[in-house]
């Protein structure tokens, strides 16, 4: 989804509440995000590095902009465990098939006392964007199960002219509780569209599909041109 000004203002508010400064922070970004509110879009890694974070690691199967290739459907590597002060999920986890592992990974990446920030679509919004959609009750019950403290929670209304594009912004502080069992997480209320075309490394699949269609069009045009040339030759 990228990081818009509303998301950035939300995270600044959360940092102010928690009295934290960027230079103190080791930041893990789920998904290779782009900053959308500047004159020119830039990778989030470049933006947060300029903000002075002491470490920035992005995890994305696409490996772009220095992202580390990590599949969030599986446990994260041991060297990333409890390493980060802030872990952000700005429109990523709705694209992960294994929701239990996705949220467990976020928990495991974050230090005790660290922050986990989400920006995710609620039910009925962003149709066709991802597989999963999250009601506010989901985050309330997740906090209770995991022993998180909810630092902030807002529903960002869609901009004028963009109906059905609300987002839920939620910030947790991680406590000392261990992550719940899979059966408990799977009982949380969320909407599963069943659409797996927008999960995994779906951007690469879309590019491959587009390239395939482009090649097919080129071949078709060449064949038409050859057929036209053949017809002209026969008429001479």
d(CA 140, CA 17): 20
The model carries a pTM of: 0.84
| Beta-bridge mates of residue 172 | 116, 150
* Per-residue pLDDT of the chain in tens (236 residues, 90 and over written 9): 689 999 999 999 999 999 999 999 999 999 999 999 999 999 999 999 999 999 999 999 999 999 999 999 999 999 999 999 999 999 999 999 999 999 999 999 999 999 999 999 999 999 998 999 999 999 999 999 999 999 999 999 888 888 889 999 999 999 999 999 999 999 999 999 999 999 986 554 444 343 434 445 555 676 676 767 766 666 66
- Mapped onto helix, strand or coil, the DSSP state of residue 126 is coil
Q: What pLDDT is attached to residue 209?
A: 40
Whole-angstrom Cα distance, residue 141 to residue 96? Answer: 20
For the chain, the first-to-last Cα distance in angstroms comes to 58
């Amino acid at each position: 989804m990228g990081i818009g000004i509303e998301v950035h203002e939300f995270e600044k508010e959360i940092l102010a509440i928690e009295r934290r400064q960027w230079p103190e922070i080791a930041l893990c970004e789920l998904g290779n995000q782009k900053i959308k509110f500047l004159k020119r879009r830039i990778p989030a890694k470049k933006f947060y590095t300029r903000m002075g974070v002491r470490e920035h690691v992005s995890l994305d199967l696409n490996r772009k902009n220095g992202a580390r290739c990590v599949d969030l459907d599986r446990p994260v590597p041991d060297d990333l465990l409890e390493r980060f002060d802030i872990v952000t999920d700005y429109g990523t986890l709705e694209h992960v098939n294994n929701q239990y592992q996705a949220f467990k990974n976020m928990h495991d990446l974050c230090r005790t006392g660290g922050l986990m920030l989400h920006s995710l679509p609620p039910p009925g919004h962003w149709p066709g964007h991802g597989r999963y959609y999250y009601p506010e009750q989901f985050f309330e019950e997740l906090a209770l199960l995991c022993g998180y403290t909810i630092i902030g929670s807002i529903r960002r209304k869609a901009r004028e002219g963009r109906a059905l594009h609300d987002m839920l912004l939620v910030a947790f502080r991680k406590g000392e509780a261990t992550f719940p069992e899979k059966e408990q997480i799977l009982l949380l209320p969320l909407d599963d569209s069943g659409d797996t075309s927008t999960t995994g490394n779906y951007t690469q699949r879309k590019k491959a599909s587009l390239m395939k269609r482009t090649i097919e069009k080129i071949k078709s045009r060449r064949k038409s041109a050859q057929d036209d040339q053949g017809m002209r030759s026969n008429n001479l």
